[in-house]
Structure 1
Amino acid sequence: MTRVLVIEDDPIIGEMLTLYLAEENFEVRRVETAREGKSALCDFLPDIMLLDLMLPDASGTELCAEFRQLTAVPIIVISMKPSVTARIQAISYGADDYLVKPFSMQELKVRMEAVLRRTSSLSPVAQPIAVSQLSGSAPSSMDDQHGLALDLERRTIVLDGVHIETTFSEYEIMKLFYQHPNRVFTREELINAVRGIDSFVNDRAIDVHVTNLRRKLEKNPKEPQFIKTVWGVGYKFLKG
């Protein structure tokens, strides 16, 4: 049974979500604060999270970044803010999807299933928060490989200690590569990774993003050491 963590302080919306999802055969846990949500990541081990961005102890799109640093599970933001800017910020900070209140429960379910299908093919085992992180700050970067790391707070790539600025799509593609070294990704999978904001992305756009990443990261972009082309399939990131 799919486990859903609902982080929502509004009692009416929270109860509606809990009842509906339970009737749809999801296992649901609802909490009302960011602190309780972080604890639930550890002991409930959700498969997907519904996150309100206005909580009693924290608010704003930075919440997405905080939870994304703590877990790899999909995050769907549920918010009262309908602006395109709010959507872009939330997705830029790590959300996988964004729904504006009030929304259709049927639409929520379809979006949840779509996100779960996409992410389950990329990361079969969710990465829960470490217990040691509950009382301290989250890590700011992933482990170094080949002198290359990701700075999660600044959303930059760090190469030999130097921060490399990237576009949103370039960073999302590199993060996917980095989290799944040696795995071959098709262009379609890479399109899905950035489609949340780059709605016009296509196969050619993916090739351009990869070319730009190579220019920024490789000593010789024509003979790449990090991002390899798998002819007829897509690309992969090599881990030593």
Structure 2
Amino acid sequence: MTRVLVIEDDAIIGEMLTLYLTEEMFEVQRVETSREGKFALGSFNPDILLLDLMLPDASGTELCAEFRQLTAIPIIVISTKPSVTVRIQAISSGADDFLVKPFSMQELKVRMDAVLRRTNALSPAAAQPASAGTGTSAVASGPQQGLTLDLERRTIVLHGEHIETTFSEYEIMKLFYQHPNRVFSREELINAVRGIDSFINDRAIDVHVTNLRRKLEKNPKEPQYIKTVWGVGYKFMN
């Protein structure tokens, strides 16, 4: 059973979420503060997190960034703020999706299913067993010397160092890695990361690529791994 951690201090919304998701066969735990949420990450071990950005002991997109540092599971932000700026800031801070209150419970479930599909779907390459004796599921070799993917920890390994990423950043990098030199349009990256039924736009893709460059490139302004193909999208260099 999929475990959902709901961090929401509004009693009415929190109860609605708990009742609906329980009826949809999710195992749900709800807490009302960021402090309780951080504890529940370890004690409840959720598969997905629903995070309100306005909590009694913390607020703002920096809260999302803090939770992203603590967990690699999908995070869906739920907020009363409808502005595009807040959405982009939340996604840039590690959110995998964003819903504005009030929202349809059916839409919430569709979006949850979408991010969980992306998390659980293993590509044929990812499904291959690790090389004998390696003790890890990391890809043994890659298009760029010194860069591999650790499929078990869902991290990028650069020159032996594990680089932590958001869910979306990792999915984009996995796609690039498996298809070196192929040019991907922003629309293709949107569909690969999220599916057509979940919120993300061209600007969010650009933000994810910018964040990946900051983490991987010696000089993000002159990238060697992820190249921009002007007027089309991006490609990962072999």
Which TM class, normalised by the smaller chain length?
0.5 to 0.7
User: Per the alignment, in what secondary structure is the counterpart of residue 39 of structure 1?
Assistant: helix
**SS of 1:103 mapped into structure 2:** coil
Opposite residue 92 of structure 1, the aligned amino acid is: S
Partner amino acid for 1:199? Answer: D
Percent of aligned positions that are identical: 60
In the alignment, structure 1 residue 146 sits paired with structure 2 residue 149: no
1:43, distance to aligned residue in structure 2 (A): 1.4
Matches within 5 A, 1:152-163: none
Q: What is aligned with 2:82?
A: 82
Taking a change above 3 Å as real, the CA distance of residues 147 and 80 of structure 1, as seen in their structure-2 partners, is: same
2:202 alignment partner, one of 193, 199, 203: 199
SS of residue matched to 1:98:
strand
Aligned to 2:146: none
Cα RMSD between the aligned structures? Answer: 4.1
TM-score for both structures, normalised by structure 1: 0.61
Query: Is the CA contact (8 Å cut-off) linking 1:177 and 1:237 kept in structure 2?
Result: no
Hey, what does 2:64 align to over in structure 1? 64
Gaps of 5+ in 2: 127-154, 227-233
Contact 1:184–1:235 at 8 Å: present in 2 too? no
Kept after mapping to 2: 8 A contact 1:181/1:237: no
- Quote the Cα distance in structure 1 between the aligned partners of 2:11 and 2:32: 9
Q: TM-score, normalised by structure 2?
A: 0.62
Aligned to 1:29: 29
Unpaired stretches in structure 1, ≥5 consecutive residues: 125-141, 156-171, 228-233
Distance 2:68 2:237 in 1: 21
Name the CA distance, whole Å, in 1 between partners of 2:177 and 2:156. Answer: 18
Q: Tell me if 1:184 matches 2:178.
A: yes
Measured in 1, the distance between the counterparts of 2:204 and 2:175 equals 23
Deviations 1:168-224 (A, max 9, x none): xxxx64x4477x69962695567533885433899xx9xxx69x96xx8489xxxx7
